[in-house]
Amino acid sequence: MKNQIPLIYFYGIVPGKYLAVWPVYIINDNPASLTFTIAADDVSTIERHLLSSHNIIVSDTSEIAVRKYITSSVRQRLHQKAFRERVLLAYSQQCAFCRIKHIQLLDAAHIIPDGDELGDPVVNNGLSLCKIHHAAFDSNIIGVTPDYIIEVREDILEEKDGPMLKHGIQELQHNKIILPRDKEMWPDRERLYIKYTKFKQTG
C-alpha cells in the first residue's frame, strides 16, 4: 500500500473458476479487523508511476475519481460474469427452453432486469437461455408462468412463417421449462409472476 505496488486480484465466480483483475491497488488497511480495501485501476497508472520515478512531471488531476469509476465498472463486470457462470452451472449448461448445450449460444437471462428492485444477480433471478429464446423472453414474445410453464404470445402463435418460428418458438407452448437439479436454485416464483404479468399485458 505504501509503495502503491500493483497486484492481481483473482475473483472466484464458481468453484475452480476465477476472473483476474489487473492492476488493483491496496488503498486502505485495517489491522484491527485484518481487512484491507482494494481499488481497480488501468495500466496507465503504472505508466504514470514509472514516469514519476524518473522525475518526469505527470499531471494527476483526479486519480481517486478515476479509480472509483474503474472499480465500479469492474465490480459490475465481475457480478455479471459470476451471474452467468452460476446460472449456466445450475442449469447444467443448457437452455431451459430447448436444451441446446452449446455454451457459446447460451446467456444468463434476468427474470427481473438488472437495476430493478428485485433484479439481483442471483441464480433465482436467472434462466439459462439460448440467445434466440433470451431475446424472445426479454421482449415478451415468450412468457413463463410462476408454475414454470412456457406460454407463447397469442399473435405469435397465429403467425405463419418458416420452421424456426414453428419449431423454435410456437412448439414451446405449454412446455415446462427445464429446472436445475437443486430446488434451491429454481426460479423465484414471485419474480416470475411479476415478469409473467408484464408478458400478459403485452399480449
- What average pLDDT does the segment 33-53 reach? 69
Give the residue from 103, 106, 124 showing the smallest Cα distance to 195: 124
Of 89, 108, 129, which residue sits at a domain end?
89
| CB atoms near residue 63 (< 10 Å) | 13
Helix (H) or strand (E) holding 176: none
| pLDDT value at residue 62 | 59
Structural domain harbouring 155: 94-202
Bigger pLDDT: 148 vs 13: 148
Cα 43 versus chain centre, distance = 25
Q: What is the rounded average pLDDT for all residues in the chain? A: 87
The reply to whether 26 and 102 lie within a common domain is: no
| pLDDT value at residue 58 | 42
The reply to whether 42 and 74 lie within a common domain is: yes
Assess contact for 107 and 93: CB atoms under 8 A: no
The reply to whether 158 and 134 lie within a common domain is: yes
Assess contact for 149 and 176: CB atoms under 8 A: yes
Of 89, 109, 135, which residue sits at a domain end?
89
The rounded radius of gyration (Å) of the Cα atoms in the chain is: 23
The reply to whether 187 and 163 lie within a common domain is: yes
Q: Is the pLDDT of residue 117 over 60?
A: yes
Q: Is the pLDDT of residue 120 over 60?
A: yes
Question: Please, which pLDDT band fits residue 79 given cuts at 50, 70 and 90?
Answer: confident
The reply to whether 66 and 159 lie within a common domain is: no
Question: Please, which pLDDT band fits residue 178 given cuts at 50, 70 and 90?
Answer: very high
| pLDDT value at residue 197 | 97
Percent of all residues in the chain with a pLDDT value above 70, rounded to a whole number: 83
The reply to whether 183 and 163 lie within a common domain is: yes
The reply to whether 98 and 198 lie within a common domain is: yes
Assess contact for 39 and 49: CB atoms under 8 A: no
pTM over 0.85: no
Highest mean pLDDT among 28-42, 56-70, 73-87, 120-134: 120-134
Assess contact for 112 and 125: CB atoms under 8 A: yes
How far is Cα 124 from Cα 120, in angstroms, rounded to an integer? 9
Dihedral of the CA atoms 96, 101, 104, 108 (nearest 10)? 20
| pLDDT value at residue 54 | 47
How far is Cα 173 from Cα 194, in angstroms, rounded to an integer? 20
Cell numbers for 64: 481517486
